Structure 1
Amino acid sequence: MGKREDVAELFNGISDKYELANHILSFGLDIFWRKKACRKLFRINGGEKIEIFLDVATGTGEVLKVCKKKNIKYSIGLDPALKMLKKSKEKDQNLILINAGAEELPFKDSSIDIIFVSFGVRNMEDRKKAFSEFHRVLKDGKYLVILEFIHREKGGIFYHLAHFYIKYILPYVGGMITGNFKAYKYLSYSIDHFITANILKNEVEYFGFKIEYIENLFPTVSIIIGKNEKN
């Protein structure tokens, strides 16, 4: 199996307790991070109508739950882990959900208004191919939002304490909550070995996005919002 299938299998194995584990492991900060990113997106977008809001790596649909606005016509969640999508559907039968990966989006060119990726970029099998797909399906002048664990070029004591927690404590606590130690060892590794915000910014810009906003959230999470530029 490739990375996409392996990661999907890991997430399928923790789908029943994924949200609970997230809230406990982040001390509830994961809820704040998503809400913060949504609020910033809606401020940048203004009151413009959003025909299609696409949440890539939607998991159990937490972003779709938080990012609700009257001016959104269709909210769509996409994820390669089928059991995660089923948990999302249990919470909201009205959601449109697609079992697919970010590298091959089943949408026409210039058909999407917003793409949101919450803690999913580091798990992608081919990040650059996914960014190319985001550029293809997003309308000109519309937005990509990335919320992700990011390495800081310079970090203070709380940043280093957070990475100690992620590397040495999170895998075991997550494993105890879900019964799946393998999944949380992988998640810890994927965070610890991910790129810096500057490298991610450069990658996003290379594929046709103008960075509109970057914010580093306590302790190791960043919001990056890029405007799609077709020309």
Structure 2
Amino acid sequence: MFDTHAAAMGNTSFTLTTEMVQKDRVPWNDEKNFSYKNETAQYLAEPSDSQYLVHTTGYFSVNGSTYSNGSTVYVLAQENNETTVTVQPVFITSVLNESGENYLWRGGLLGDEYDSGAINATYERKGIEMFQGVPVMRYEATGPDALTGGWAPSENASWNYETFSATLLLDEDGIVRHYQYKFVRPPELLDNVRYSRTYTLSDVGTTNVEKPDWAMNATTGS
């Protein structure tokens, strides 16, 4: 699936929006009291022109923007009412890698482990629907028993996850248009997490990326 998706994404422009919500019980055994940690990121990509622009805001990242022209990365950070712009070689800071499945796993402290586990769950086809004006095939995974591999280390996945659900929308060209998953960990585990993550692909073939004004006057080493 990801090989087909990557081949399509490497030849067209697109916008990828990611959203993450994490809720921790405070204290651990209090079902009614949660702390919230949110993050949103929007990636604008023109792979054929090696131009990428991302805007991030939330708990897990510095609020700001990053622009890359294929050889240089410009980073705008906003923190404590201060704005800074730094310039780095592209091999130090990666903005977006659309060449494989990791293009999805962006922005977030827990993303890699949970994202990979959720996408490798057992899915069932649920029919065809329209998403952003495009026909897509809907796939769903429901319940901890749908989890496979190292994501659920015990034979009984329900020991590690109270609930789990995921939805994936795939268009006729093999492009992942939308992907979302949610889970709740049991209260006896130390992390006590409720977690959801959403990825939405839009403006396929029509996204336009330009060097932002804040990067125009930035120089290497600034």
TM-score normalised per structure 2 = 0.32
Structure with more relative contact order (C-alpha pairs < 8 Å, separation 6 or more): 2
TM-score normalised per structure 1 = 0.31
Give the greater-gyration-radius structure (CA): 2
More helix per residue: 1
More strand per residue: 2
